[in-house]
Structure 1
Amino acid sequence: MAGTIEPDAVSAPTSKRRSLVASTVGNVLEWYEWSAYAVFAPFIAAVMFSQDDPVSALLSTFAVFAVGFLMRPLGGIVFGRLADRRGRKFVLITTMLMMAGGSFAIGIMPTYESIGALASLLLLLARMVQGFAHGGESATANTYVAEIAPADRRGMWGSIVFVAIFGGSVLAYTVGGAITASISESAVGEWGWRIPFLLGGVAALVVLVLRRGMEESEVFTDDTTPAEESAPAVEVPRSQVVRGILLVIAMTSGITAAHYTWTSYVSTYAIAEQGMAASSAYWMSVIAQALALASLPLWGRFSDRIGRRPVLLAFAVAMIVLQFPLMGLISDKPWTLLVAATLALVVVAMPGALLSSTMSEVFPTRVRTQAIGFAYSISVAVFGGSAPYLNQLLNNLGIGWASSLYIVVLCVATGVAVWLLPETKGIDLAAAGSTPRRVRR
Structure 2
Amino acid sequence: MKKLSVLAIGASLSGGAIAAPAGGDAARTLVIHAGAVVTIPGEEPLGPTTVVVRGGRISEILPGHVERPDARSIDLGNRTLLPGLIDTHVHFSFSPETKLWSAAINTAEDVALFAFSNAKKTLEAGFTTVRDVGSDGYSIHALRDAVNDGTVIGPRIFLSGTSLSIVGGHGDMSGLNRKTTEALYPYDYTGACTGAVECALRVREAAKYGADLIKITATGGIMSQQARGLGQHLSDDELTSIVTTAHGLGLKVAAHAHGGAGIAASVRAGVDSIEHGTWLDEETAKLMAARGTWLVPTLGLLDGRKTSDASPAVQAKMAEARRVAGRNIRLAVRHKVKFAFGTDAGVSPHGQNARQFRLMVEQGPMTPMAALRSATVDAATLLGQSDNLGTIEVGKYADMIAVAGDPYRDITLLEHASTVIKDGQVIRHEVRAP
Scaled to the shorter chain, the TM-score interval is under 0.3
Higher RCO, 1 vs 2 (CA within 8 Å, ≥6 residues apart): 1
* TM-score normalized with structure 1 length: 0.25
Question: TM-score scaled to structure 2, two decimals?
Answer: 0.25
Higher strand content, 1 or 2: 2
Higher helix share: 1
